[in-house]
Amino acid sequence: MSIRKILVAIAAASVIPLAQAGGYGAKKDIVDTAVSAGDFNTLVTAVKEAGLVETLKGDGPFTVFAPTDEAFAKIPEADLKALLADKAKLTRVLTYHVVPGKVMAADVAGLSTAKTVEGGSLDISTASGVRVNDAQVVKTDIETSNGVIHVIDTVLMPN
């Protein structure tokens, strides 16, 4: 499973594109966009630790459901350190956040599930805002040169 697919699955949230809200445009790839945003430091560190940077900088397209630093802060510190130290488990968690292809918010709203690069499925609900499993999507449609990021408030854990 590639990192590109992981990053694609990580983000799906609000209706304000980051390109409008924060000045990020489609000229940057998923990794560079996440670095520039400043809210994904833990995610970027995890992507580096898992060796997924080149994958997520690749052609794509990928859809990433990207947890913010605040989302990672919900994980107990010892558990997060253990996850970052276990490359195989970290790769599995990260790729669970990536969906192959470019899935925009309008597309996400019409889905009930999405297959991840990790091989599992994400449950999608639009009953009260957009939710992916237990995560609330807080920003959507951050377009990049190789896909799209949707921002989520909780780290997704595969079964």
CATH number at residue 104: 2.30.180.10
The whole-number pLDDT of residue 35 equals: 95
- Please report whether residue 91 resides in a domain: yes
The Cα-based distances of 46 to 14, 17, 26, 107 in angstroms read: 24, 24, 23, 27
User: Is 112 inside any structural domain?
Assistant: yes
DSSP annotation of 96 reads: T
What confidence score (pLDDT) does residue 128 get? 83
- Looking at residue 18, its pLDDT comes to 40
Q: Shortest CA distance to 158 belongs to which of 127, 134, 125?
A: 134
Per-residue model confidence (pLDDT) at position 26: 45
* 158 in a structural domain: no
Report the pLDDT value the prediction gives residue 98, as an integer from 0 to 100: 97
pLDDT at position 14 is 32
Q: Does residue 92 lie in a domain region?
A: yes
Cβ(146)–Cβ(4) below 8 Å: yes
Q: What is the residue whose two structure tokens read 């997704």? A: 156
How far apart, in Å, are the Cα atoms of 19 and each of 16, 27, 62, 76, 142? 8, 10, 17, 32, 6
pLDDT of residue 22: 42
Q: What are the tokens at 107?
A: 């597309």
* Number of domains, the chain: 1
pLDDT of residue 108: 78
pLDDT tens for 124-149 read 998 888 999 999 999 999 999 999 99
For the stretch 81-89, contacts whose Cβ atoms lie closer than 8 Å and that sit 24 or more positions apart, written own/partner, are: 83/46, 84/45, 84/46, 84/49, 87/49, 87/50, 87/51
User: What does the pLDDT read at residue 4?
Assistant: 33
Q: Is residue 159 part of a domain?
A: no
Query: What residues in the chain have per-residue pLDDT under 50?
Result: 1-26
Residue at 70: amino acid letter: E
At 84 the pLDDT is 95
Task: Kindly state whether residue 70 falls inside one of the protein's structural domains.
Answer: yes
Domain residues for 89?
A: 3-152
Report the predicted TM-score, pTM, of the whole model to 2 decimal places.
0.82
Residue 57 placed within a domain: yes
Within-domain flag for 58: yes
What is the crossing angle of helices 77-85 and 41-49, to 10°?
A: 30
pLDDT value of residue 1: 36
